[in-house]
Structure 1
């Protein structure tokens, strides 16, 4: 099956790495002597989630997302939102763990196909996590929307990644991710095959059709190495 592919593209958050934002925020706010509760997290997500939709739709920038989600807390603590955002990304890097099967999958792919990350996550966090997990050397390219200037699902970020990878035949490229609206739709927009990692936490919109659907990374490895 690996002979069918020239390149495999991965999302980062909740595809290769655990992304426990609640734990990261709790750790970050302990530095300010704040007990960050589940209600605080619900209030944060009420602001954060629409900002991510705006970012994926291209109506706000990465910097605007990162500052606006901490505006209220910045006012409450008299701390610049940019500082809170930086503290949050540092905390997320500190608690980072790979998903089960991530290391084994990357090891199985190394040297057999080109591997890249395409992420809407932010530069400081992505680079720190790759260093901390020892995953950096597995990847031929690390493509971050904050640096490229367009997020998934825009086909332009995929075009950029594939250019870095030598412009392979798109029928021989697979995009793997957990978020249908960015990862799978983005892959469809770019004309590549897709695999949805279905963690059972979100529905698949009817207009988004992945090529494959698996529950976890070991299941994907079984398909790719069959």
Structure 2
């Protein structure tokens, strides 16, 4: 196999990230019937905050608290506490994506090193790795909240490479589902990239992945060639 290292994104690359289901699960504990309209309102706040976070304009803590500001006022619970409950709910409902276990097992058996670079948050990532049984397979697990910058910033990739013992970049593949963070970040850092293109979308001219697949099963088939 060409690659000695494969770096994965986490959300919607290795694990389902159904934040609507997580919010429904969380708000049910507060006797709130969280609706699709509520979710749309939440996303109208959440999505721009993620862009600001990835662009370095706000911190992880600011993102996590600002997205729950309105609900904090409605329920008279701190935004920080609501965010903690949300991440707990996401851990409760976590599942690996189809093909993830087979892929990870095959790579491990063939002595391919695996790491994770995620813009997600520490509380959820560690719990999810433990609950899915994936924890032993991935080292390093690089989390933007801990590094202080998010993908696509080169510093987070530099940090990961240092933790990996500084392998030759030509031996490292970055796999992720998000063009603007995973793929652009990998390209700018000089890595080969594989876009997990779940919905058969086209990519802009300025972000061209080295490879693209529609599922982790397809990725495994390609890596076996």
Correspondence for 1:90: 88
TM-score, normalisation: structure 2: 0.98
Counterpart secondary structure, 1:8: strand
Deviation by residue 1:100-152 (Cα, 9 ceiling, x = unmatched)? 00000000111512110000000000000001000000112100000011100
Counterpart pick for 2:8 among 3, 7, 10: 10
Q: Distance in 2 between matches of 1:52 and 1:202?
A: 21
User: Which stretches of structure 1, 4 residues or more, deviate above 4 A after TM superposition?
Assistant: none
User: What are structure 2's unaligned runs of at least 5 residues?
Assistant: none
Contact 2:200 2:214 in 1 (8 A): no
Residue 61 (structure 1) aligned with residue 59 (structure 2): yes
Q: Distance in 2 between matches of 1:87 and 1:212?
A: 37
Correspondence for 1:48: 46
Q: Distance in 2 between matches of 1:29 and 1:140?
A: 34
TM-score, normalisation: structure 1: 0.97
Correspondence for 2:203: 204
Q: Distance in 2 between matches of 1:8 and 1:96?
A: 22
Residue 117 (structure 1) aligned with residue 133 (structure 2): no
Q: Distance in 2 between matches of 1:91 and 1:188?
A: 34
Note the C-alpha offset of 1:203.
4.8
Change (3 A) 1:56 1:201: farther
Counterpart pick for 2:36 among 35, 38, 43: 38
Correspondence for 2:106: 108
Counterpart secondary structure, 1:12: coil
Correspondence for 1:189: 188
Note the C-alpha offset of 1:205.
2.7
Deviation by residue 1:33-53 (Cα, 9 ceiling, x = unmatched)? 000000000000000000000
Change (3 A) 1:176 1:5: same
Correspondence for 2:215: 216
- Alignment: residue pair count: 224
Correspondence for 1:26: 24
Note the C-alpha offset of 1:204.
2.2
Note the C-alpha offset of 1:206.
2.6
User: What are structure 1's unaligned runs of at least 5 residues?
Assistant: none
Q: Distance in 1 between matches of 2:149 and 2:203?
A: 23
Counterpart secondary structure, 2:136: helix
Q: Distance in 2 between matches of 1:21 and 1:155?
A: 27
